[in-house]
Copies of this chain bind each other. A is one copy, B any other.
Amino acid sequence: MLYIIGLGLGDEKDITLRGLEAVQKCQKVFIEAYTSLLSFGLSSDGLSTLEKLYGKSITVADRETVEEKADDILSAAASSDVAFLVVGDPFGATTHTDLVVRAKKLGVEVKVVHNASVMNAIGVCGLQLYRYGETVSIPFFTDSWRPDSFYEKIQRNRKLGLHTLCLLDIRVKEPSLESLCRGKKQYEPPKFMTISIAIEQLLEIEQMRGENAYNDKTLCVGFARLGSEDQMVVAGTMKQLSDVDFGPPLHCLVIVGNTHPIEEEMLDFYELGKIQGQTS
């Protein structure tokens, strides 16, 4: 049996009782490293906190070796109980769908233990989840690669009065260009997009397109370390938020659509200059 277990957003205490029971009875425990590296601070310290809580040693399945590890995981799961731990909810990210598909094709039973993900925890700011349009991703721009497909999506959502969740780029274990040229892989340090970089890129595209999908006065909500004890939630215009220091990762951004009175009342509490960086 393959258990895919969501760990939630904050730290080791965000696992559910169901998840904890499952991981404790598994013979092997893997953790996906792609997002967990950042959000759980999975230095060896963070990992040993989890290992102590579970009473199990944990193998980190990093992104590069995921193919190889997937085979290990699945062959172990064919004959014993295996846990694959995922930050947030197992299906918050696309990458885990592939593992499930492969498991099912091999006839390996899969059980999913759900948990909170960014997709629902953003509800904390008071904007209603059913009033969001399509979610967009903001990738790091490079000199030669400045993809802007998020622009039409945000524009569409805003025309309909809907809110837009912007997921901000994370780069973990990216081989450096220089090392690739030399034929020997070396990795760039992990890189995560801050809210100010996201806003800078958003405004660059708006300036280029000039269709006023949004502008620097558009109301947004910035989130840092959502679901953690020290989470930060601030509402303000794009211009205002781009000057806020949101601190360590992960960050995400919501571009606000039309608001209902109850949504406005909640947003008020998070407004810049009122109770800045309020945690809740």
Contacts and interface: CB of A to CB of B under 8 A. Distances in A.
Q: Does more than half of chain A's interface fall in helix, strand or loop, or is it mixed?
A: mixed
A266 B16 contact: no
A126 B250 CA distance: 25
A6 interface: yes
A193 to B, nearest CB: 16
A21 interface: yes
A114 B8 contact: yes
Sorting the interface of chain A by its residue count into under 10, 10 to 19, 20 to 34 or 35 or more gives 35 or more
A124 B160 contact: no
B160 A262 contact: no
A275 to B, nearest CB: 9
Closest 6 CB pairs between A and B? A91-B123, A114-B116, A130-B135, A13-B18, A13-B17, A117-B120
14 contacts: A8-B16, A8-B115, A89-B116, A90-B124, A91-B124, A92-B129, A97-B262, A101-B266, A114-B124, A119-B130, A130-B136, A130-B137, A132-B135, A133-B133
